Amino acid sequence: MIPAIKSFQGEGAPPYFRLRAALSYCAPLFVNGIAVPFFPVWLAGLNFNDHEIGLVIAIPMVVRVLVTPIIAVLADHMTERADVLLWSGALSLLTAIALYWTSDFWPVLLVYGIQGATYAPYVPVVESIAMSGVRRWGFDYGSMRVWGSITFILSTLLGGQLIGMWGGATVLPVMVAGFILTTLMGFFAPRIGPTRRRNQPINLQSPTGNLRSPQLLITMIGVSIQQSSHAMLYTFASIYWHKLGFSGAEIAVLWSIGVTAEVMVFFLSKKLSRRFSAWTLIFFGSTMCILRWVLFPSNFGFFGYFVLQCFHSCTYACVHTGVQRRIVASVHEAQESSAQGAYYFYNGMFLGLMTLASGYLYAWLDLASYYVMAGIAGLGLAMVVFAYGLQSGKPAIGGGAHGVS
């Protein structure tokens, strides 16, 4: 399990910490539940071609690469990390409103790129606050993170219904509503003070490394490469399913079932952590990712894609849970935001590059481009296996009950 550990869970924590942390996940994932599946549909409604859609989706991801680590390091030295959420939410809201006055490619690219910069630190800082709750007071990570995934499901279903009734033009007002929520959560998020410095007493198992550990570095890069293989799905799945004749509601169901399966993993994260090591979760999820993209080009109809979307529980949730446990095992809390920022840096960089490439790959190879994604996932898995090899004496299977290995 992720270590932490006070005699009484939550003793000394801010009031309603778990609820407030959970809601802090809900706000940004409400936005993501609309933007990830349906913002490409809004772009398609502006008559952008595949290359332009891929570029617009990719640029904010690349921008996040530059912004997230800088803000994350600053957050580690702030009196209150939650203040970052207020500024991030408010500035992102302004960019979402600005999109009302853009319809041409270059203005949309510019405004959405700025939104990528302003929105970049939000989720990493929420992760940092939640993981400090895990470290200091023994809260269960999955029980907080899961509510963000549930919100993603609900907002995706809402988006599907609205698009079914009024078309892609409804995407933007719902995104604006979501950014209003992220701004409000900047006030409501838990205030827990600065990160613990190394000379401050705290009842925690000592980390085994630091942010510069080659093993942690290679693990984060490998996982980020594996996660970047989702770029083709995020950018073109809704458009492809729409071409197959699936309704807006059916497309929303396909997105939602993937996150529902993800939710189940987060609900079971405590039990999974006792039974399996972090390495096992990453290995398994990455292997399932390869299988997912190999099968994706085969059109088994709505039911077939329904089953494939359930694989998201493995390809994202298992891997994400595993890498979070590796971060906690490797760095001190004083580096928590920096570690989350580094992870999101690599994640954003590879996802952005792969999203940019996906526009060209999809135009060139059509559905066969998913075989390329399978190869990318395989490369990520190989890097994680190499990182594991740098650690001696640790079992690859099980072992979760004795730490965060």
Query: How far is the C-alpha of 233 from the C-alpha of 240, rounded, in Å?
Result: 9
- Nearest Cα residue to 324 out of 140, 70, 71, 79: 140
Crossing angle of the two packed helices 278-295 and 214-228, in degrees rounded to 10: 20
Cβ atoms 315, 370 nearer than 8 A? no
Residues 6 or more apart whose Cβ sits within 8 Å of residue 361:
232, 369, 372
- For position 109, what pLDDT does the model report? 95
- Nearest Cα residue to 171 out of 44, 351, 53: 44
Residues 6 or more apart whose Cβ sits within 8 Å of residue 337:
72, 73, 75, 76, 81, 124, 125, 128, 195
The Cα angle at residue 383 between residues 378 and 386, in degrees rounded to 5: 125
- For position 6, what pLDDT does the model report? 43
- For position 3, what pLDDT does the model report? 42
Q: Under DSSP, is residue 103 helix (H, G, I), strand (E, B) or coil?
A: coil
- For position 146, what pLDDT does the model report? 84
Query: How far is the C-alpha of 323 from the C-alpha of 297, rounded, in Å?
Result: 29
Which pTM value belongs to this model? 0.71
Q: Which two tokens stand for residue 378?
A: 């395989």
- For position 4, what pLDDT does the model report? 42
Which class would CATH give 17-197+208-402?
mainly alpha
Cβ atoms 224, 376 nearer than 8 A? no
Per-residue pLDDT of the chain (405 residues; tens, 9 = 90+): 344 444 345 567 888 999 999 999 999 999 998 998 889 889 988 989 878 888 898 888 778 778 877 887 787 778 888 899 999 999 999 999 999 999 899 999 999 999 999 998 898 889 889 988 887 888 888 789 889 888 988 898 888 888 878 888 899 999 999 999 999 999 999 998 776 544 443 444 444 455 667 889 999 999 999 999 999 998 889 888 988 888 878 888 898 888 889 888 888 887 888 889 999 999 999 999 999 999 999 888 999 999 999 999 999 999 998 998 888 788 776 676 678 778 878 887 898 889 888 888 988 888 899 999 999 999 999 999 999 998 754 544 444 444 444
Read off the amino acid at residue 62.
Answer: V
Count CB neighbours of 161 within 10 A: 14
The domain locations on the chain are: 17-197+208-402
Crossing angle of the two packed helices 141-166 and 319-330, in degrees rounded to 10: 140
Residues 6 or more apart whose Cβ sits within 8 Å of residue 74:
84
Read off the amino acid at residue 277.
Answer: S
- For position 202, what pLDDT does the model report? 41
Distance of CA 278 to the CA centre of its chain: 17
In sign, the C-alpha dihedral spanning 308, 312, 318, 319 is positive
